[in-house]
């Protein structure tokens, strides 16, 4: 097989582990790219909604949502968020859960599909995650999403038009159907070269190992059984 190694990633904007996993993947890619047998990679993000029932204008914060969704005590949730914040900091991320505006993410996922059509999906994904976890920006309203989209080079009028019309909603649903077919029930989830699945925000070395294996297989150095 020739061409770049495909890395297909299922994730949600409102998933703190997805941002951490993104950074760890990037670290792994940087290490892998320095190896002699490195093959170019092509990353595509796919839609996965952790809480599709969430209203756009959710009344409360992240703690309120998790208390209700997971049945945990507020103190337990706070402890959990502090741990995740610390792990995010290790990856250079500055989470502020106290400012996060929890919301429905289906429009944000549609925006990622629109950005993909313009070759700007990776930039849009990074902008949405940063806006949500670090800046306390709202990522559920069309107008707010359009503001963020303009920052990465998309046309505001097109974004408003396409998100209002739900042009990419079928694409979001197709991603979700594929996730179910793969048996994905949590994110982030990485499918590498269409055959290797990596679940969770794994350490960079895990990605290096899988990519190196794929490269060796393509070179005929190991069995692809």
- What's the rounded Cα separation, in Å, for the pair 96 and 82? 10
Residue 225 belongs to some domain of the structure: no
The DSSP code sequence of 179-198 is HHHHT--SS-EEEETTTEEE
For position 220, what pLDDT does the model report?
A: 86
Tokens 């925006």 identify what position? 111
Residue 120 belongs to some domain of the structure: yes
For position 22, what pLDDT does the model report?
A: 98
Handedness of CA 163, 165, 171, 176 (dihedral sign): positive
Structure tokens of 154? 């998309």
- What's the rounded Cα separation, in Å, for the pair 225 and 204? 25
Domain that holds residue 152: 5-218
Structure tokens of 145? 């999403």
Structural contact between residues 15 and 187, judged by C-beta atoms closer than 8 angstroms: yes
Minimum mean pLDDT range among 32-41, 81-90, 161-170, 176-185: 32-41
DSSP structure class, residue 87: H
- What's the rounded Cα separation, in Å, for the pair 32 and 193? 15
The CATH code of the domain that includes 78 is 3.40.30.10
Residue 61 belongs to some domain of the structure: yes
For 3-34, write each residue's pLDDT tens digit: 999 999 999 999 999 999 999 999 999 999 99
Residue 224 belongs to some domain of the structure: no
pLDDT exceeds cutoff 80 at 177: yes
pLDDT exceeds cutoff 60 at 224: no
CA distances from 149 to 44, 136, 158, 205, 214 (A): 18, 16, 10, 32, 34
pLDDT exceeds cutoff 90 at 64: yes
For position 225, what pLDDT does the model report?
A: 52
For position 104, what pLDDT does the model report?
A: 98
Structure tokens of 35? 């190896």
For 100-157, write each residue's pLDDT tens digit: 999 999 999 999 999 999 999 999 999 999 999 999 999 999 999 999 999 999 999 9
The domain tally of the chain equals: 1
Residue 223 belongs to some domain of the structure: no
Residue 158 belongs to some domain of the structure: yes
- What's the rounded Cα separation, in Å, for the pair 196 and 83? 29
Over residues 33-53, the mean pLDDT reads 95
């Amino acid at each position: 097989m020739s061409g770049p190694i495909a890395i297909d990633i299922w994730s949600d904007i409102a998933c703190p582990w997805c941002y951490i996993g993104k950074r760890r993947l990037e670290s792994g890619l940087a290490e892998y790219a320095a190896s002699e047998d490195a093959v170019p990679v092509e990353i595509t993000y796919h839609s996965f909604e952790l809480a599709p029932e969430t209203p756009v204008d959710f009344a409360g914060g992240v703690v309120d949502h998790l208390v209700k969704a997971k049945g945990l005590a507020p103190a337990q949730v706070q402890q959990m968020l502090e741990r995740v914040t610390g792990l995010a900091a290790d990856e250079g991320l500055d989470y502020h859960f106290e400012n996060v505006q929890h919301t429905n993410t289906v429009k944000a996922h549609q925006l990622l599909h629109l950005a993909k059509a313009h070759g700007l999906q990776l930039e849009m994904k990074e902008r949405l995650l940063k806006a949500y976890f670090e800046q306390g920006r709202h990522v559920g309203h069309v107008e707010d999403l359009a503001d963020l989209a303009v920052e990465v080079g998309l046309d505001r009028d097109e974004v408003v038009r396409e998100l209002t019309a739900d042009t990419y909603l079928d694409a979001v649903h197709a991603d979700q159907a594929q996730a179910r077919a793969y048996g994905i029930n949590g994110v982030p989830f990485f499918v590498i070269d269409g055959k290797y699945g990596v679940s969770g925000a794994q350490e960079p070395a895990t990605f290096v190992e899988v990519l190196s294996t794929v490269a060796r297989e393509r070179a005929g150095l190991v069995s692809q059984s």
